[in-house]
Chain A
Amino acid sequence: MALLKCEKLVLGYDKNIVVQNLNFEINGGDYLCIVGENGSGKSTLMKTFLNLQSALGGEIITGDGLKKNEIGYLPQQTVVQRDFPASVWEIVLSGNLSHSGLKPFYTKEDKKRARENLERMGITHLKNRCYRELSGGQQQRVLLARALCATKKLLLLDEPVSGLDPKVTNEMYSLIKELNTQGITIIMVSHDIAAAVKYASHILHIGNETFFGTKEEYLKSENGRLFALQDGGDE
């Protein structure tokens, strides 16, 4: 049984159809990269996964006992967060809310989980620092730790490296890969096709032509060859 399966999915907003007839499935432990041009519907697909938006047609089926509140999410930064007075600890703890229901306060396990994820992301020393004073890479680690508090199974990442310098970008990618090898399924929206090909196990390319398959299949496909060619040209 697949963790997540899309059948004949139609995506769009305000009745404008962006993507038609999308079919693919993700199994536990996969690392899926969603690539495509601007406006091709990557973010819309992400929002549909997260129930922030409903699909215009088709359906998303979750399997393997994946519940709606077991998805971790690393969003793009918002304007509000840039001057938000919050400590790293407060933010990471807030990831626990997805499974705390109506309980008003955090439990001991919540706190333990938050501490573990701080450790996992290597940011324990930043625990009491103010979020807005951290560097871009550190902020992403904080948000990742929060997402890990919300899930043990599936992590959705929306452009996790945008705005980061090359060194930090590489660190971020290896961190994500490490989480994947620990058994967490990754779905990542990215512009960075080179990295997608390097790290992912599966690729979903949306745009004029939709492609879904393993990384190896992608490299052999029309689109993939085109990108491989461009990438080679750059170097």
Chain B
Amino acid sequence: MAEIFSKLSMYFEYPFVRYALIAGTLIALCSSLLGVTLVLKRFSFIGDGLSHVAFGAMAIAAVANLTNQMLLVLPITIISAVILLAGGKNRKIKGDAAIAMISVGSLAFGYLIMNLFPTSSNVSGDVCTTLFGSTSILTLSKLDVWLCVVLSIVVVVVFCLFYNKIFAVTFDENFARATGTNASAYNLLIAVIIAVIIVLAMNLVGSLLISALVIFPALSAMRVFKNFRAVTICAAVFSVVCTMLGIIISILAGTPVGSTIVGIDVLGFFVFWAIGSLGTLRKA
């Protein structure tokens, strides 16, 4: 045990490890907040779809040799999110089909571009990094971390300020709309926030695994808790704890960061599921 601690404290000497831990915790916090809303609105896959869009955008940014890829990736992802979430129910193509369409389309497009205009000799390595975030969390620059901190704070503050409205729009959009709440505006807000979170989270777990950060905390919390506030708080704590554990384990064991975090999330879900089932058994 003492050996592990001394190893850890040695690692924490390195700034990139501290950066990874700070950024990872903040990203986990943000993604779990909106997870509850997305799961309940039947939009679990939105994270997946948008992350593929972000992947496509990233490929373009890489090819165009942009120094700060965020500048291109963020707007493109936000626009896609707005189209997907705020389009409403009156479209000809329904939500899940639209997500699938945009998601695979941009995935293919991104890979195609990366192959046609390779920026380095190791194309499959680049693709793998973008998809699974293998090392990018450990290579964050100071600027990346600051950007991450600022955006995370904005997301958390906006979420807290509009918490009651987000609850109302999620629980019963028609009622909210009928009684004069501007539901479309809040759907738009949710769409923009989720896009920001996804672009942030790409650094942490890569674009293929983002949905896990959005879904697992919410679903786990919903096994155990029965009201919206408790579920939201529990999801946030769950997400932060799992992500920190995941990062620390991956540093100690040398495993890929993204998949380790998601692995811990899956384990955590089963623990919560068991607790939830025990609770219902005791009642019955």
Residues of A within 8 A of B (CB): 50-52, 68-69, 71-73, 75, 78, 80-81, 83-87, 89-91, 93-95, 97-99, 104-106, 128-130, 133, 146-147, 150-151, 156
Cβ contact of B180, chosen from A68, A81, A83, A130, cutoff 8 A: A68
Assess whether B171 is interfacial by the CB under 8 Å rule. Answer: yes
Contacts of A86 in B (CB 8 A): 167, 171, 227-228
Cβ contact of A71, chosen from B162, B171, B179, cutoff 8 A: B179
Contacts of A72 in B (CB 8 A): 179
Contacts of B226 in A (CB 8 A): 85, 87, 129-130, 133
Assess whether B86 is interfacial by the CB under 8 Å rule. Answer: no
3 nearest A-B residue pairs (beta carbon): A69-B180, A130-B226, A98-B179
Assess whether B277 is interfacial by the CB under 8 Å rule. Answer: no
Assess whether B250 is interfacial by the CB under 8 Å rule. Answer: no
CB neighbors of A among B211-256 (8 A): 222, 225-231
Query: How many cross-chain pairs have Cβ atoms below 8 Å apart between A and B?
Result: 93
Q: How far is the CB of B72 from chain A (nearest CB, A)?
A: 33
Contacts of B231 in A (CB 8 A): 85
| Interface secondary structure of B, over-half rule | helix
Q: Are A97 and B181 in contact (CB under 8 A)?
A: yes
| Interface secondary structure of A, over-half rule | mixed
Q: How far is the CB of B43 from chain A (nearest CB, A)?
A: 11
Q: Are B172 and A71 in contact (CB under 8 A)?
A: no
Cβ contact of A104, chosen from B162, B170, B171, B176, cutoff 8 A: B162
Contacts of A51 in B (CB 8 A): 177-178
Q: How far is the CB of B35 from chain A (nearest CB, A)?
A: 13
Q: Are B161 and A104 in contact (CB under 8 A)?
A: yes
Q: How far is the CB of B66 from chain A (nearest CB, A)?
A: 37
Residues of B within 8 A of A (CB): 40-42, 160-165, 167-168, 170-172, 174-181, 222, 225-231
Contacts known (A90-B227, A94-B168); A84 close to B179, Cβ less than 8 A: no
A156 CA / B177 CA spacing, docked (Å):
14
Q: How far is the CB of A82 from chain B (nearest CB, A)?
A: 11
26 A-B pairs with CB atoms under 8 Å apart are A50-B174, A50-B178, A51-B178, A68-B180, A71-B178, A71-B179, A72-B179, A73-B174, A73-B178, A80-B171, A80-B172, A81-B171, A83-B222, A84-B171, A84-B228, A86-B171, A87-B227, A94-B164, A94-B171, A94-B176, A97-B179, A104-B161, A104-B163, A128-B227, A146-B175, A151-B179
Contacts of A133 in B (CB 8 A): 226
A94 CA / B178 CA spacing, docked (Å):
13
Closest to B36 in A: A85
A98 CA / B230 CA spacing, docked (Å):
24
Q: Are B180 and A73 in contact (CB under 8 A)?
A: no
Q: Are A104 and B172 in contact (CB under 8 A)?
A: no
Q: How far is the CB of A66 from chain B (nearest CB, A)?
A: 12
Q: Are B177 and A52 in contact (CB under 8 A)?
A: yes
Contacts known (A52-B174, A91-B171, A105-B164); A80 close to B40, Cβ less than 8 A: yes
A68 CA / B180 CA spacing, docked (Å):
7
Contacts of B225 in A (CB 8 A): 85
Q: Are B175 and A75 in contact (CB under 8 A)?
A: yes
Contacts known (A94-B171, A97-B164); A73 close to B179, Cβ less than 8 A: yes
Contacts of A69 in B (CB 8 A): 179-180
Contacts known (A52-B177, A87-B228, A150-B179); A97 close to B165, Cβ less than 8 A: yes
Apart from A73-B175, A90-B228, A156-B178, 19 more pairs, CB < 8 Å: A52-B174, A52-B178, A71-B178, A72-B179, A73-B178, A75-B178, A80-B172, A83-B40, A87-B226, A87-B227, A87-B228, A93-B164, A94-B164, A97-B164, A98-B179, A98-B181, A104-B162, A106-B164, A151-B179
